[in-house]
Amino acid sequence: MATTGEPKYILSAGLGRFASMDANAAKHFGPGAGEKARELLAGSIAKAKAAGFEVIGEDVNPTDPEDTIRRFTEQLSSRKWAAVNVGYGVRGHKEHTETFERLLDACRRISPDAKIIFSNGPDEVITAIRRNFPENFQ
């Protein structure tokens, strides 16, 4: 369903270009995990755009959580967000728990009105958006 007017902004935190550095993502997506994740996310972004959403990705670097949190908080402070999505690659593996907690804490502090949503993969960002904003898909 195409909409007009100001888009609803969604900040989406996932492994993205760093997926190939994560053993779980590399196992799931194969040796080109980063490229595959970006490709799948692009499909979700296109569908979201057609429904009036602007999805802005922020890649989580599993080897540099400080840089990740810095970039994420800068992005979070840049505008009003309808929602913040955190992907399964970040929240579904115990080695990323501290980063996941810090991302959620930043959301609570900086953008408390944004919905917190969760996708189960880069191709399912659109599923999380549909689930949390059903009125945009009627």
Mind listing the pLDDT tens digit for each residue in 105-132?
999 999 999 999 999 988 899 999 999 9
Return the pLDDT at 4. 60
Q: With the CA atoms of 28, 32, 37 and 39 taken in that order, what torsion angle do they form, in degrees rounded to the nearest 10?
A: -130
Decide if pLDDT at 16 tops 70. Answer: yes
Query: Strand, coil or helix: what is 24?
Result: helix
pLDDT digits (tens, 9 = 90+) for 54-99: 999 999 998 999 999 999 999 999 999 999 999 998 999 899 999 9
Q: What is the pTM of this model?
A: 0.88
**DSSP H or E run through 131:** helix 125-132
SS3 content of the chain, % helix, strand, coil (to 5): 60, 15, 25
The model's confidence at residue 33, banded by pLDDT at 50, 70 and 90, is confident
The confidence band for 35, taking pLDDT boundaries of 50, 70 and 90, is confident
* CATH architecture of the domain formed by 8-132: 3-Layer(aba) Sandwich (3.40)
Is residue 2 within 8 Å of 52, Cβ to Cβ? yes
> What's the confidence (pLDDT) of residue 98?
96
Is 57:42 a contact under the CB 8 Å cutoff? Answer: no
Q: What pLDDT band is residue 17 in, cutting at 50, 70 and 90?
A: confident
Average pLDDT over residues 4-30: 81
Q: What phi-psi label fits residue 56: left (phi over 0), alpha (psi between -120 and 50 degrees) or beta?
A: beta
Domain ranges of the chain: 8-132
